[in-house]
Amino acid sequence: MHRILAKQVLSPNVTRLDVHAPRIAQIRQAGQFVIVHLAENSERIPLTIADSNPETGVITLVIQAVGKSTNELVALNAGDFIRDVAGPLGHPTEMISSGHALCIGGGVGTAVVHPIAQSLQKKGVRVTSVIGGRSKEWVIFENELKRYGNVVVCTDDGSYGRKGFVTDAAKEILTNDKVDIVYAVGPVPMMRAVANLTRPLGVHTIVSLNPVMIDGTGMCGGCRVSLGNETKFACCDGPEFDGHLVNFDELQDRLGTYREFEKEALACAPENCRVEKQLAKLS
């Protein structure tokens, strides 16, 4: 059992939980994630470790509430417990040891680039972060990222920072400054746009993928992604990959596979829910 030590609502559907997981806190590296299992019959949810403190044994998880299971998770409060937290899983982020890194975060993806920027700055790399949200209330982790370098904030409606997409600001930086590597995390259309922007410039670009994931060991195959002519598993080969090789069309399609079931599970009551009845027949 893992106790929740603190809870903070970061934006209308994004919540930060600080969770006691000392063994994970001591060895996690940037880019790695955990799989959270709230209770005995709960769904397994993969979440990036946004931060950690080895001394206190705390890891920080940032959750976007989009379905039944994530809504149940963010409904917890300080003092509540999560049954299982497995990790750290996945490969650590590929790091450069010098030069200039551009970290691009969209929405909840900003929390994922935070440990990357943190680790790069510790290595002496110059870090510029470009983060975005629909409006001011959707912008997260701005102050945290400011500890590691310059931060450019973009909002779709211009209510905060500069108006426009993160790719607009990224294009200006790539045009006017030397960038050695780009890290991009966010919605699939955003990561695809960043990869299309950097490909003709020849700037190495790493993206963090979020396909359907169950066991976290590569056994189920649910998180498979295509990189060029190769099939990889995001849980054990990633979750970070060369953005210039990712088949984003396939990734987008696979992300929508269970969307209708997720909506139904969230919206309906257990006693009249078709999904619940189907599961009951199988049990």
Reported confidence tier of residue 190, pLDDT bands at 50, 70, 90 = very high
Residue range 219-266, pLDDT digits in tens: 777 778 888 889 988 888 889 999 999 988 888 887 765 566 566 655
Q: Give yes or no for a contact between 21 and 54, defined as CB atoms under 8 angstroms apart.
A: no
Where in the chain does DSSP place strands (E)?
A: 2-11, 14-20, 33-37, 44-53, 58-64, 81-82, 84-89, 100-106, 126-133, 149-155, 162-163, 181-185, 204-208, 224-227, 230-233, 240-242
Q: Please tell me the distance from the alpha carbon of residue 191 to that of residue 203, in angstroms, as a whole number.
A: 14
| pLDDT band at residue 275 using 50, 70 and 90 as cut-offs | very low
- CA–CA distances in Å: residue 102 to residues 54, 127, 128, 158: 27, 6, 5, 22
Domains belonging to the chain, first-starting first, are: 2-89 (2.40.30.10), 100-255 (3.40.50.80)
So what's the pLDDT on residue 273? 46
Confidence (pTM):
0.86
